[in-house]
Structure 1
């Protein structure tokens, strides 16, 4: 449940494919980290675009409008 909540409230989630590893396979740490690193590198351009958008004036105006509308 905590994982579902964390993912639902996160701004950006990177989910490397580690389905072929058992959750208790502690010896697979390096392989899992490598997959995480690879997944991050693949998604980095999208994350950078998202961060640029969130710094833009249209995004800030949209968020401010949403905040004002929630107050009424």
Structure 2
């Protein structure tokens, strides 16, 4: 029987800490902290809902992170 793959580890980092930051700075900081994928989205964007370990999502309004979540 084949082994079940182990998902990549996520950084021990709180998404809430990015709220209010300038979007380009928040993206750089997230990558430096080990997030493999950083996705910036406009408010109300239609997105897929699959969970991806190592991905951090930002909702960006007026150039600032308004909301951040994993996956």
More helix by percentage:
1
More strand by share: 2
Same fold (TM over 0.5): no
TM-score of the pair, normalised by structure 2 = 0.27
Normalising by structure 1, we get a TM-score of 0.27
